[in-house]
Amino acid sequence: MKRVLGRAGDYLSMVKFSHTVFAMPYAITGFTIAIACDNYRFSVKVLLLVIACMVFARSAAMSFNRIVDRKFDKLNPRTAGREIPSGKISLLNASLFTVISSLLFITSAAFLNRLAFMLSPVALIVILGYSYTKRFTALCHLILGLGLSLSPIGAYIAVTGHFAVLPLLFSAIVLTWVSGFDIIYSLQDDDFDRETGLFSIPAKVSRANAIIISVIIHLLTVILVIAAGLVYDSGILYWIGSALFFALLIYQHLIVKPDNITRVNLAFGTVNGLASIIYCLFVTADMLI
């Protein structure tokens, strides 16, 4: 039993399951928009399928990323201890895990509606394709943001079977928010990226300029959050959640400096995890109350 739990822990670590907190709250928000704003019937089955899609899609994307990047991970002291380069999970098992997760994602989408099923391979192409982008473009951060931004609109489509403006606005919020904090996260590897020929904004333009770009992108996030609140005529809870979200955005930029990146993981994981949960909790409450 102990060995089984240990193996399960290795797979959860490989896909960074704790980082589900970044996108899952926005999927719940997309689901809530359909129920609260567009008057669709609440369904436990649909909600569970939305959660399943999120878990399987993200698991496929993360394991595929670890497979594609395994040689670079082995060379990078920061990532050499990851499950594949360290030998905790074999390349074959990681590949099987990716295939199974992808098939389960498509299957879950098929139980939702026709449009969700038809778009599921497209979503997979985006979230799996991200893993190759650091090889040819410094805009890889935006592709990562695009992948996670599928969560609110995907959840909305899961309920309704069509697109709408408001969930697309929330997708834009996720795109810019994730892109901005991924630039901060990649500050840790700017030297390694330059040495190995990988692309990232910090490696391309220096740490100081990368932080400025991250700030600009997060200013776009602020504008989009305000726009989303105005589009659906939000109440006081929305604006309280937005204010807290803005405060956490500011805080992460205050604790990470070009000459001191020791608190990058705090900004990347803890602060942004809290930002996602708090903002989406207040948004959901505002829509339902």
Under a CB-based contact definition with an 8 Å cutoff, are residues 50 and 31 in contact? yes
pLDDT digits (tens, 9 = 90+) for 235-267: 999 999 999 999 999 999 999 999 999 999 999
Name the average pLDDT for the chain: 95
Q: 3-state secondary structure string, 155-171?
A: HHHHHHCCCCHHHHHHH
pLDDT of residue 28: 97
pLDDT at 19 over 80: no
pLDDT at 2 over 80: no
pLDDT of residue 73: 97
pTM of the full structure = 0.96
pLDDT at 5 over 60: no
Fold of 20-288: Tetracycline Repressor; domain 2 (1.10.357)
pLDDT digits (tens, 9 = 90+) for 115-160: 999 999 999 999 999 999 999 999 999 999 999 999 999 999 999 9
The gap from C-alpha 128 to its chain's centroid, in whole angstroms, comes to 13
pLDDT digits (tens, 9 = 90+) for 25-74: 999 999 999 999 999 999 999 999 999 999 999 999 999 999 999 999 99
